[in-house]
Structure 1
Amino acid sequence: MINLYYDSRTGNVERFINKVIQVTGWKAIRIEEHMEISEPGHLVTYTTNFGKVPDKTAQLLTMQSHMIYSVTSSGNRNWGRNYAIAADKISTEFEIPTAMKFELSGTLEDINQFIDIIKNQYYDSKRGSEKLDIA
C-alpha cells in the first residue's frame, strides 16, 4: 500500500489527492499539527506566500523527514519562478527527491503522471533516488 501525506489550504491539493485515491485506492492522510507518521510515504503539499513551505508541512518534515520518500507540490504559474517552489525548497533542505509539480488541483494528465511516477519510477521506495528528480 502506498501512503500519501498531504497538506491543503485552499482545497487544490485535496482535490488532487482525492482524484489519485479514486484511481489507485492508495491511502491518503491529511497533515495535522504535531502529527506522527508510523508508515513511510510520499508528500504532496502546496506553495504559499509566493514561495514559502506551509507551516504544518515544515513542522512534519522537521521531525519526520526520514519517513518521506518524495515531494510533490502544487502552485500557480502566475507566481513565475516561485511556481510550486515549495517542492524545490523541501528537496534541498531535507534531501527528498521531487516527484513533480502541478498547477492548482492538477489536470487528468497530472494525475496520471503522478501515479506513474510513484508506481513505476519509485517502486523501490529508496530515498534519494535520482530517478525521481524530473520536475
Structure 2
Amino acid sequence: MKLVYFSLTGQTRRFINKLDLATYEIDTTNPFYEMDEDYLLIVPTYDQEVTEVVNDFIEFKDNANYLKGVAGGGNLNFGDLFIFTAKDISRDYDVPLVFSFEFSGTDEDVKNFKKVVNDFESKRID
C-alpha cells in the first residue's frame, strides 16, 4: 500500500523516512497527481488554509476513492487540537483515523505504524 504524505516543516517527512516504505509526497506547487492504487495519507497539524493543498490532492480525479485511511502527526501540547487536520480529513472523507504520532515519531511509533500498514495490506488481499 502506498503512503502519501504532506510535510511543511519536515517533521512528517522525517517520520516517513524512518519507515522505508513506498511513498509519495504531495507537491505544494502542484498537488494534482493521480493515484492509481490504494493509499494511506499522513498529514501534520496545521490550519486548513495551509493544508488546502492536501484537499486538492484528495479531490483530484479519483484519488478520494483510493484513500483508505489517514494518520496524523502533531504536538501533544495542542491538547484537543492534537492531530485535528487528520481528524477533519477522517470525518470529511469518511475514512478511518488509523494512527497518530508526536513530532517526527519515536522508534515505537515507526514499528506500530508499519503494523497498521501491514494490516491494511492484508485486508486488501483477503
Normalised-by-shorter TM-score class:
0.7 to 0.9
Is 1:38 aligned to 2:36, yes or no? yes
Q: State the SS of the aligned residue for 1:54.
A: helix
Question: CA distance change for structure 1 residues 120 and 87 in 2, over 3 Å: closer, same or farther?
Answer: same
> 2:17 aligns to what?
18
Q: Give ranges in structure 2 of 5+ residues lacking alignment.
A: none
Q: In structure 1, what is the Cα distance between the partners aligned to 2:121 and 2:45?
A: 23
Among residues 10, 17, 28, which one is paired with 2:23 in the alignment? 28
After the TM superposition, list the runs of 4 or more consecutive aligned residues in structure 1 that deviate by more than 3 angstroms: none
CA offset digits 1:23-72 (Å, max 9, x no partner): xxx211101221211222111111113x7771221111223211111100
Is 1:67 aligned to 2:66, yes or no? yes
> 2:55 aligns to what?
58
Determine if contact 1:3/1:42 at 8 Å carries over to the other structure.
yes
Q: Give ranges in structure 1 of 5+ residues lacking alignment.
A: 127-135
- Stretch of structure 1 that moved more, 76-85 or 115-124: 115-124
Identity %: 28
The one-letter code matched in structure 2 to 1:39 is E
- Stretch of structure 1 that moved more, 114-123 or 62-71: 114-123
> 1:125 aligns to what?
124
Instruction: Name the Cα RMSD after superposition.
Output: 1.9
TM-score by length of 2: 0.86
Paired residue total: 120
Determine if contact 1:41/1:69 at 8 Å carries over to the other structure.
yes
